[in-house]
Structure 1
């Protein structure tokens, strides 16, 4: 094994200190190569965890203190107990240690035997007089995986416009799509992009993966006409004007080939919702709203306060007056009182959106879907947003999540998302994580976790430094998984981990052990440990969602025709001559087509790439997916009509309209939900999945 790295790697003492705090002093981008993290990266990362390692003396002092702390403590801050399995932390207690447990329900016990799943409070007293208290996280040993195979549709909701939506897909469209797909197509689920609340701006960041809040949804997704009070708005002329503007906005996207304008959509909806809010709630609706406020408590109040303050001071809380940067300050409490009307407005929006999300999931069940809506959990939040403001104590100051250099990106990646501090999570019994999951599972038949490897470790990049000067920070994967399994089991939901790309050894096995499904994309499934050839269908994982593509990859039609290479060439993104890129892409596609032909899955193709040949090849790709044992099969909805354009092209910002494209056909013409329902091409592909 060779060792490479920066000129100033960490000293032995700094390395030891880092390891004791879960900070990596090196990493292995490949089995035969180890790269040392820089001493600067390790020192700054430790500082973000509250550990002074700025001098040799402070390193020695911090190391001695940490070793002493670990040697003397009886329990870690959070203890994990999987149902039916021993707990290493409890087994390590001195003989004769007395235990007492206060359960979530307030029941007192003197043993952990037979404890129900939940987060309880554990106290211990050792014979030598030492005492300790910890959160006791009891979780089922694993999640049940789907017992029957089902297929579903994958869609970026904003891209799915109907003749009723206001310029971008909304929750009414989601319910309509689900109802039709479940009843008419026999689909078992619909997977959507993250619907988290966005940071308002001019313009708003269109990426659903850099939200203001992951816990609360974005009201831009509301179907305004489905709010019960809408029918009783008295200012009908104002409402009529807004509807006319919405018609023009929708037409501009569908008929004039314009991009989806999220800000313009929200401007219209906000004005309409201000009118709707003037309608008094009936007694039942008022009681339901009161229940929502009570259930969400301080978290909702913080969320709504941030949005109210952002209307006055702008969306970056770090530039607000000093007193308002602290959600618990007297200045913030005073401002909240002065802005109570706006705070209530944003609370109301959260309630309405939550209600429509719940209704959408209920629709899937009534339509016969086995899973229902699969929601997407982004890996982090925007540093300027509501969660970063309200939960400052849980985020590592001066740090950003990203990825180290690899074969695809020699400079690494900085995603601009502040990471959670693993120590603060553990001290709280993972409370913010638990509450986040509980909120999402309330209306999710399944949850897709973006970059699920983040439950184990994340690449932290110090502010002002390039991604190459970061390092990995480890999380307590047992605790993170236990919380996930606990909350998913309580909701009766499935969990899908997005485990694409470089995955640390043992991660996929650990996820499978706990019932978390993985993700397999056809073009990446090769025998990487052998000859690199396409992986035979029988060798695919059973516990996964199998699909041909995702929102970050070329559509299947673009890959088959090579148009994804031409797009990257037009944007100046190729790192090699166009001819080389074309040849490599054609060879890759040709190899897969040869496999499909050999297996007898490619029916009715000719010698070119006309419509019939292309459709036959896309159908063959999905016949291949049917040959795998994968429990869930996902169909990228734009693939059903031959869309060429990716929804997101990694590595671009303003060069390409990421997250702003409506679903379109092979000629680039936007296709509505109503047209999708009548598409012969769509039905032919779905018939492949339904008939096998």
Structure 2
């Protein structure tokens, strides 16, 4: 029986209610201001990915009754994330019973919770009356990852007939403001760079963790408080390597692609013949360090993997082995699963013909095939687990160099929205992800068909059942040796655009997440690490989200070119205080390219313009003219400013904002014109493969910055303006 035979694409009231009960949006406001009703086919596909597949009206009614009854069936919720200020937790107790609650704290001690006398709500569940009791939480519970225990017994002191426990997380109400140097009114600035693009004389063809340390030290001596870099999540371990750092294999572990082989301690003790092999592996890729055209990740990883395998085989001292063993124990089974995925990737790349599909069982971590391969691949599993230890050591050294240079924050990592559909996380945490769904963005003026990012979404109920451990562990890895974390597309912690396979990006809908829990976990881990959180909240974001993040002490982001009012640029004095403010972003051309209309020329070449070239140039000229007028009105430029003077003036302009943090793009500091990522392209443009170069197309190395006039002038101008 159809739920709506007259209009199969329009959901029935029952299907609408079921979707909304699962946090699935049945209507939403589009970028163009229209209210869109989500088609029934989309709702059914999304519900199916959540494990709900009603075929008839009766099935829908049963599923709706089940989801509404589910919270009442558990004595405790699957997990509980609360703020330290207190609040309540709902406990569901059978009629005629008492309940006792205690919290097992992280330090091993216990705290009993008082059950109040109250008028509780009740409901009939499976023939039994169940009472919902709202238990108040004391405001002095310590922050941390605890366990809540409940015991239910009949009135009058009978035997316990039901027990339950759940992860119980107490999170800070608000994070403190970012640390800064004296004389800046509590504000700070930092450098923003694409790490892979920033090479040195000792690089292996792309920037690495050693270059990260050197760049941080240089920026710190110039007065910077942080260095924001692209995500350094692990990608593939076989070629071709995905260029986008925003489409990783895992967000839990680091990319060994950025390891500097010579900085591994054991490399210093290699036999001369083995050291010569390492040097020979580096020579061809190092020759490209001064080539400004394109980063070749495939060549870099092929050379590094061979060198690192040789170093891994070298003997380790007792102390070094003890450190490795401690690291492996701390990272536990998740690291072993990731290392096994890496070994399997290599195995199938080596044993299958090019283009051949691997066995279906290989995609299942629990399959007999995977179990069978563990033993013969044990050495490669050890190698990839060891690589994570080495990467961890080198990132720690970079953070140490950053803080030693005077930075108050240090390295600022970037968290990608999600992971590749065939990556390690999607494989080892399969039950945590929705199958047959990818995430993206609905249609807007820039992408009228919508965007599909080819990333599977987390299942909200699965996260809750796991006590948000995957989120916690991911954040811990990134903040272990860092002072801040930028969260790309932070709205994804509130709602994500789910796209059922085969329906197209525009035919998706939003799915809600428990933002209070997810933000709470982030805040707790940042608090423990003493780190700053920044949420990238550009674009179509519900206004209350920005207020919520600010109230939790999480900074937002603003880009100068996007801060517009009806009559022109919004004066920076009217920007928000809880911000990371910047002139541009990696999805825009560097400012030199923007001023020269290279973004229009590039989009025209690639066929991405939605208007004529003449109209696009006219719009760009109008936008640029309004910004230059603002700079002249403030006395920041003269009548005929040079490109360098305009770039410096724009960066000085944003120091007039009350924003707590300011970001200076390294590409602006050297005069680079080429964009790192051109939205709307895949193979048409070498996204995420552009090495750092100046305005004349010459490669700029880390060593060059110490005497690069533009770099020195811009960093001095921003530092002086912030101290004024």
Relative to the length of structure 2, the TM-score reads: 0.89
1:250 and 1:88 map into 2 onto residues whose CA distance is 58
Residues 601-640 of structure 1 mapped to structure 2, 5 A cutoff: 601-602=636-637, 604-606=638-640, 613-640=642-669
Conserved in 1, the CA contact under 8 Å of 2:213 and 2:398?
A: yes
How far apart, CA to CA, are the structure 2 residues paired with 1:79 and 1:532? 47
Say if 2:539 is the partner of 1:501: yes
Q: Deviations over 1:125-172 (max 9, x none)?
A: 578888654322210111111152111110000000111101000111
C-alpha contact 1:149 1:632 (8 A) present in aligned 2 = yes
Q: Distance in 2 between matches of 1:318 and 1:546?
A: 48
Q: SS of 1:482's equivalent?
A: helix
- Which among 90, 102, 105 is matched to residue 103 of structure 1? 105
**Deviation larger for 301-310 or 103-112:** 103-112
Pairing of 1:272-291 with structure 2 (within 5 A): 272-291=307-326
Partners of 2:556 and 2:90 in 1: how far apart?
Answer: 29
CA distance in 2, matches of 1:318, 1:381: 23
Contact 1:167 1:260 (8 Å CA) reproduced = yes
Relative to 1, partners in 2 of residues 1:271 and 1:245: Cα closer, same or farther, differing over 3 Å?
closer
Aligned to 1:295: 330
State whether structure 2 residue 258 is matched by structure 1 residue 221.
Answer: yes
1:84-139: CA deviation from partner (whole Å, max 9, x where unpaired): 23136479999975322222334332124332112222234578888654322210
Which residue of 243, 251, 269 maps to 2:287? 251
Taking the aligned partners of 1:105 and 1:326, their CA distance within structure 2 comes to 37
CA–CA separation in structure 1 for the residues paired with 2:563 and 2:442: 23
Partner in structure 2 of residue 648 of structure 1: 677
Q: Which residue of 2 aligns with 1:55?
A: 56
CA contact (8 A) 2:198 2:702 kept: yes
Alignment CA distance shift 1:374-1:91 (3 Å) = farther
Displacement of 1:351: 0.6
Distance in 2, Cα, partners of 1:555 & 1:347: 38
The answer to whether the 8 A contact 1:318-1:384 is kept is no
* 1:597 has 2:626 as partner: no
Q: Aligned to 1:658, what secondary structure does the other structure show?
A: coil
Structure 1 counterpart SS, 2:635: coil
- Asked if residue 581 in structure 1 is aligned to residue 619 in structure 2, the reply is no
**Helix, strand or coil for the counterpart of 2:245?**
coil
Q: Secondary structure at the match of 2:401?
A: helix
Which ranges in structure 2 are unaligned for 5 or more consecutive residues? 1-6, 114-136, 156-161, 180-185
Please report how far the alpha carbon of residue 434 of structure 1 lies from its aligned counterpart in structure 2 after TM superposition.
Answer: 0.9
Flag the 1:658–1:92 CA change in 2: closer, same or farther, 3 A.
farther
Question: Shift of the alpha carbon at 1:550?
Answer: 1.3
Distance 1:281 1:466 in 2: 52
Q: Structure 2: how far apart are the matches of 1:263 and 1:97?
A: 60
Aligned pairs for 1:645-684 (under 5 A) are: 645-684=674-713
What are the superposed Cα offsets for residues 166-198 of structure 1, whole Å, 9 maximum, x if unpaired?
A: 100011101011112112x01111110011110
Structure 2 Cα separation of the partners of residues 92 and 125 of structure 1 = 10
Q: Do the aligned partners of 2:204 and 2:289 also contact (CA within 8 Å) in 1?
A: no
Residue 67 of structure 1 deviates from its aligned partner by 2.1
Give the conservation status (yes or no) of the 8 Å contact 1:197–1:216: yes
CA distance in 2, matches of 1:641, 1:340: 46
What's the offset of the Cα at 1:56? 2.2
CA distance in 2, matches of 1:47, 1:365: 49
Contact 1:412 1:467 in 2 (8 A): yes
CA contact (8 A) 1:43 1:54 kept: no
The CA distance in 2 between the partners of 1:631 and 1:688, in whole Å, is 17
439 and 252 in structure 1: CA distance in 2 versus 1, 3 angstrom threshold: closer
Verify the 8 A CA contact 2:200 2:289 in the aligned structure 1. no
Residue pairs, 1:386-535, within 5 angstroms: 386-527=424-565, 531=566, 533-535=568-570
1:119 pairs, out of 130, 134, 145, with 145
Alignment match, 1:609: none
Residue 715 of structure 2: aligned partner = 686
Q: CA deviation at 1:406?
A: 1.8
The 2-side partners of 1:320 and 1:230 are apart by 36
Paired position in structure 2 for 1:3: none
Preserved CA contact (<8 Å) 2:584 2:590: yes
Q: What is the CA deviation profile of residues 558-617 of structure 1, one whole-angstrom value per residue up to 9, with x for unaligned ones?
A: 112212111211222212110000000110111111111112222x451xxxxx611111
Q: Shift of residue 521 of structure 1? A: 0.4
Q: Give the Å deviation of 1:279.
A: 1.4
Please give the alpha-carbon distance, in whole angstroms, between the structure 2 residues aligned to 1:449 and 1:85. Answer: 27
In 2, Cα distance between the equivalents of 1:644 and 1:220? Answer: 26
Structure 1 unaligned regions, length at least 5? 1-5, 607-611
Contact 1:498 1:519 in 2 (8 A): yes
Asked if the contact 2:442–2:451 (Cα under 8 Å) also holds between the matched residues in 1, the reply is yes
Deviates more, 1:372-381 or 1:678-687: 678-687
Structure 1 contact 79–89 (Cα < 8 Å) conserved: no
What CA distance in whole angstroms lies between the structure 1 residues aligned with 2:414 and 2:87? Answer: 33
Deviation at 1:73, TM superposition (A): 4.8
Relative distance call for 1:249 and 1:188 in structure 2 (3 A) is same
Q: Closer, same or farther in 2 for the Cα pair 1:532/1:486, shift >3 Å? A: farther
TM-superposed deviation, 1:408: 2.2
CA distance in 1 between counterparts of 2:94 and 2:616 reads: 60
Structure 1 residue 231: Cα displacement = 1.1
The whole-number CA distance in structure 1 between the counterparts of 2:89 and 2:344 is: 47
Q: Which segment drifts farther, 320-329 or 500-509?
A: 320-329
Q: Tell me how far 1:330 sits from its aligned partner.
A: 4.3
2:235 maps to 1:198: yes
Name the CA shift for 1:92/1:163 in 2 (closer, same or farther; >3 Å): farther
Please tell me whether the aligned partners of residues 365 and 372 of structure 1 are also in contact (alpha carbons under 8 angstroms). yes
Which residue is 2:176 aligned to?
144
Task: Return the offset for 1:252.
Answer: 3.0
Write the distance in 1 (CA, Å) between the matches of 2:326 and 2:55.
50
Following superposition, the deviation at residue 343 of structure 1 comes to 0.6
Counterparts of 1:38 and 1:233, CA distance in 2: 64
**What's the TM-score once normalised by structure 1's chain length?**
0.93
Kindly state the Cα deviation for residue 213 of structure 1 after the two structures are TM-superposed.
Answer: 1.1
Change (3 A) 1:91 1:459: same
| Structure 1 contact 233–278 (Cα < 8 Å) conserved | no
Task: Say what the alpha-carbon RMSD is for the aligned residues.
Answer: 2.3
In the TM superposition, structure 1's runs of 4+ consecutive aligned residues that sit over 6 Å from their partners are 90-96, 126-131, 315-318
How far 1:237 sits from its partner (Å)?
A: 4.0
CA 1:404–1:472: 2 relative to 1, 3 Å: same
